Amino acid sequence: MSKKENILIVDDEKIIRESLFHWFENEGYVVDAAESGESALKKFMAERSGLLLVDLKMPGMGGLELLKEVKKIDPETIVIMITAYASVSTAIAAIKDGAYDYVTKPIDPDDLANLVSKAFEQKKLRYENKMLKNNIDEISGPDSIVGENPAMKKVHEQIITAAQNDTAVMIRGESGTGKESTAKAIHNKSIRKYFPFISVKCGALTESMLRNELFGEEAGAAGSQITKKGKFETVDGGTLYLDEVNSIALKMQVEILNVLETNRFARVGSSELIKTNFRLISAANENIERLIKEDKFREDLYYKLNVFPIELPPLRERKDDILLLANEFIKKFTRSISRPAKEISTEAADFLINYDWPGNVRELENAIERALVVGKLEAIIVDDLPFRIASVEFNPDEDKESLSIIEKKHILRVLNKNKWNISRSAQILEIDRVTLYNKINKYNLRAK
CB proximity list for 406: less than 8 A, separation 6 or greater: 356, 392, 393, 394, 398
Paired with 310 in beta bridges are 171
The counts of H helices and E strands in the chain are: 19, 16
- Give the whole-number percent of the chain exceeding pLDDT 90: 47
What is the maximum alpha-carbon separation in the chain?
Answer: 102
CA-to-CA dists, residue 279 to 164, 169, 189, 271, 273, angstroms: 12, 9, 13, 24, 19
Give the pairing type, strands 273-275 and 264-266: antiparallel
Q: pTM of the prediction?
A: 0.59
- Express each pLDDT in 369-406 by its tens digit: 888 888 888 889 888 887 555 455 445 444 444 566 77
Model confidence at 131, pLDDT cuts 50, 70, 90, reads low
More confident residue, 421 or 186: 186
Residue 143: the pLDDT is 45
Q: How far apart are CA 249 and CA 269, in angstroms?
A: 20
Q: Which amino acid is at 345?
A: S
User: What pLDDT is attached to residue 396?
Assistant: 45
pLDDT score, position 90? 76
- Residue 67: C-alpha distances to residues 21, 64, 232 (Å): 20, 5, 46
146-190 per-position pLDDT tens digit? 788 888 999 999 999 999 999 999 999 888 899 999 999 999 999
Name the nearest CA neighbour of 310 among 279, 283, 280.
Answer: 283
Q: Which residues, 6+ apart, have CB-to-CB distance to 431 below 8 Å?
A: 174, 175, 176, 358, 359, 363, 439
- On average, the pLDDT of the chain sits at 86
Ordered structural domains, the chain, with CATH = 6-136 (3.40.50.2300), 150-313 (3.40.50.300), 316-443 (1.10.8.60)
What does the pLDDT look like over 209-242, one tens digit per residue? 999 999 998 887 666 678 889 999 999 999 999 9
162 or 425, higher pLDDT:
162
Interior CA angle at 412 toward 406 and 417, to 5°? 125
Q: 30: which strand partners?
A: 6
Non-local (6+) Cβ contacts of 247 within 8 A are 202, 203, 286
CA distance 103 to 84: 8
Q: What is the DSSP string of 18-61?
A: HHHHHHHHHTT-EEEEESSHHHHHHHHHHS--SEEEEESS-SSS
Contact 11, 55 (CB under 8 A): yes
Q: What is the mean pLDDT of residues 192-211?
A: 92
Q: At 58, give phi and psi (nearest 5°).
A: -140, 150
Integer CA distances (angstroms), 17 to 23, 58, 157, 321, in order: 10, 13, 61, 69
- How do residues 269-282 score in pLDDT, each as one tens digit? 888 999 999 999 99
Burial class of residue 48 in the structure, from the number of CB atoms within 10 Å of its CB (0-12 exposed, 13-18 middle, 19+ buried): middle
**DSSP code of residue 375:** -
- pLDDT band per the 50, 70, 90 thresholds, residue 133: low
What pLDDT does 140 receive?
A: 46
- Structure confidence at residue 142 (pLDDT): 39
